[in-house]
Structure 1
Amino acid sequence: MSIMTHTDPNTTRPAVASMATRMFTLCYGGLAYLIFLGTFLYAVGFVSGSVVPKTVDKATGSGPSAPLSTALLINLVVMAIFAVQHSGMARRGFKQLFTRFASPAIERSTYVLLASLSLILLYWQWQPMPTVVWNIEAPILAGVVTAFGLLGWLIVLYSTFLISHFELFGLTQVISHFAGRVTEPMKFKTPGLYRMIRHPIYLGFIIAFWCTPIMTLGHLLFAAVTTAYIFVGIYLEERDLMAMFGDQYRSYRQKVAMLVPRIF
């Protein structure tokens, strides 16, 4: 990944960006990461229904809930906005287009920032649908289910660190750009959980979204749509990974399960 903004015609080496440009890039990437971090932490409370003022089941204020048809339409629209942004900007074609007009160093940060903003829109506009689908009243069982939900979030976070958390969210790229270094392309590796399943991050999200002692109609809609989107995302992501890593990823795909570890 190049850290340069232009090429000096008198040499074969690209000219390094100015200090002002590198400082702006660093601040931009840092801000994008902080917004992501806040958005991720809010997501934990939003889905689990704790700490934050608005959750998947509870709106801010005391006004009446929107009619079911209105709530369903709004919720599907905001989830679709996130899905289109999240998948569209992750494709290789968009990345190549982006780097024609802006520094490659901020491509990942821009993706992270816009994904965070689309999630903030979802939190803001989400309409609770409070009809209860199931309610686990036994305290011990309810506690176990809640604990599994939190475990899902831990799996998500842990898995990002296994494959380079700060590179995944754009910080490595902007820090390297600021230091005048070229960021090495992300290498194919399968540490820890990635030896057992190909997509532990997605598995963590599925566990977090479905493990709740009280499942409302709104929460069910959120969990079902996001799970369906995860499978679409896996298909698109693996298509890109096979194009990038070729037979190396195809062999990995044949040997390692997608989401559920193979017993034999």
Structure 2
Amino acid sequence: MTLSDPRIARLITLVIAALRPPAGRRRIALALFMGVLCHAVFAVGVLAMMWAMFFGMSESFGSVPWPWAFVANALLILQFPLVHSFLLTKRGMGLLARMLPGPHGGTLSTTTYAIIASVQLGALFLLWTPSGIIWYRAEGLAFWAICAAYAATWLLLMKASFDAGAEVQSGALGWMSLLGKIKPKFPDMPTQGLFRIIRQPIYVAFALTLWAVPVWTPDQLVLALSYTAYCLLAPRLKEKRFEKRYGDAFDRYRRDVPYVMPRLKNGAGKSEEGHNA
């Protein structure tokens, strides 16, 4: 990876524009406020997820009495994929652009989206009501081996997010574009890095984090099954959007690159895999 890499060049251009913002105190103040809010909430959401799953969802702040806790936890599971997917639709993106009053709502839509997603994740993992049942807790060498696997899945998720466009995934595109007074420029269809191996590395990496945990409870199993299903099904909707946006380019990419399972070998099975994906 070099400075000529389009992903690096795009980030450098965005950072340079943000470091020298044109005059406009209110615009600058709004951009910086949204940036701080976005990344603070993002950090809380991600850290809450890492912490809660590390303990198999047995450690959280939810205290809804049973059996109502089952309903509350189910709603927490459902709210993320439903809202997350809706906001990616044409209607949802229009709503995002109108959430902030004034002329900058459209520019800040990716930042607003990241804030909402982070609040959703924080709610899921901080407000979960644990069942109190622990099936398995790794110890000794097994504990350290699983911890290493857990860390590896998170590194994989970070790599996939960078390959897809770190500025979009983190919400930085919106507020940095507003700060630099430039039009947000979305990255092209991702085809480099992990996207050369499978079409949906972010969803696969996210699913892997659900299973590489040192503590297993009924709570973790329900979460893992639910969100693994989401990670397998939701990208189909994303790919329909890509079909409309990129046309033949995406069709060629889809023929050449499998959906979520890497190919073990090239050659005769390539064409067949591409058509089945």
Mapped contact 2:44–2:122 kept (Cα < 8 A): no
Question: Distance between the aligned counterparts of 2:145 and 2:138, measured in 1?
Answer: 10
Equivalent position amino acid for 1:31 in 2: L
Q: Point out the more displaced range, 109-118 or 96-105.
A: 96-105
Q: How does 1:132-147 map to 2 (within 5 A)?
A: 132-134=134-136, 139-147=140-148
Q: CA deviation at 1:28?
A: 1.3
> What does residue 4 of structure 1 align with?
none
> What does residue 253 of structure 2 align with?
252
Q: CA deviation at 1:193?
A: 1.0
> What does residue 185 of structure 1 align with?
186
> What does residue 47 of structure 2 align with?
41
> What does residue 119 of structure 1 align with?
121
- SS where residue 238 of structure 1 aligns? helix
Report % sequence identity: 23
Question: Distance between the aligned counterparts of 2:61 and 2:95, measured in 1?
Answer: 40
Describe the shift of the 1:22–1:104 C-alpha distance in structure 2 as closer, same or farther (beyond 3 A).
farther
Question: Distance between the aligned counterparts of 1:96 and 1:246, measured in 2?
Answer: 22
Question: Distance between the aligned counterparts of 1:17 and 1:86, measured in 2?
Answer: 35
Q: CA deviation at 1:17?
A: 9.8
Q: 2:26 aligns with which of 15, 20, 25?
A: 20
Describe the shift of the 1:106–1:112 C-alpha distance in structure 2 as closer, same or farther (beyond 3 A).
same
> What does residue 268 of structure 2 align with?
none
> What does residue 224 of structure 2 align with?
223
Aligned CA RMSD, in angstroms, stands at 2.5
> What does residue 92 of structure 1 align with?
90
Residue by residue, what CA displacement relative to the aligned partner does 1:25-79 show, whole Å, maximum 9, x if unpaired? 3321331122112211221111112xxxxx6112459x8x943x43322211111
Equivalent position amino acid for 2:76 in 1: V
Describe the shift of the 1:136–1:45 C-alpha distance in structure 2 as closer, same or farther (beyond 3 A).
closer
- SS where residue 164 of structure 1 aligns? helix
Question: Distance between the aligned counterparts of 1:205 and 1:189, measured in 2?
Answer: 17
Residue by residue, what CA displacement relative to the aligned partner does 1:95-138 show, whole Å, maximum 9, x if unpaired? 1344367521111111111111122222232111243445556x
- SS where residue 105 of structure 1 aligns? coil
> What does residue 196 of structure 2 align with?
195
- SS where residue 257 of structure 1 aligns? coil
Question: Distance between the aligned counterparts of 1:99 and 1:172, measured in 2?
Answer: 14
> What does residue 207 of structure 2 align with?
206
Name structure 1 gaps, 5 residues minimum.
1-15, 50-54
Equivalent position amino acid for 1:127 in 2: T
Residue by residue, what CA displacement relative to the aligned partner does 1:208-250 show, whole Å, maximum 9, x if unpaired? 1111243211110111111112223211111111111111112
Question: Distance between the aligned counterparts of 2:95 and 2:121, measured in 1?
Answer: 24
> What does residue 31 of structure 1 align with?
37
> What does residue 78 of structure 2 align with?
80
Q: CA deviation at 1:163?
A: 2.5
Question: Distance between the aligned counterparts of 1:20 and 1:136, measured in 2?
Answer: 53
- SS where residue 262 of structure 2 aligns? coil
Q: CA deviation at 1:196?
A: 0.4
TM-score (norm 2): 0.77
- SS where residue 144 of structure 1 aligns? helix
Count of residues in correspondence between the two structures: 240
Question: Distance between the aligned counterparts of 1:142 and 1:203, measured in 2?
Answer: 23
Question: Distance between the aligned counterparts of 2:93 and 2:57, measured in 1?
Answer: 32
Name structure 2 gaps, 5 residues minimum.
1-21, 266-277
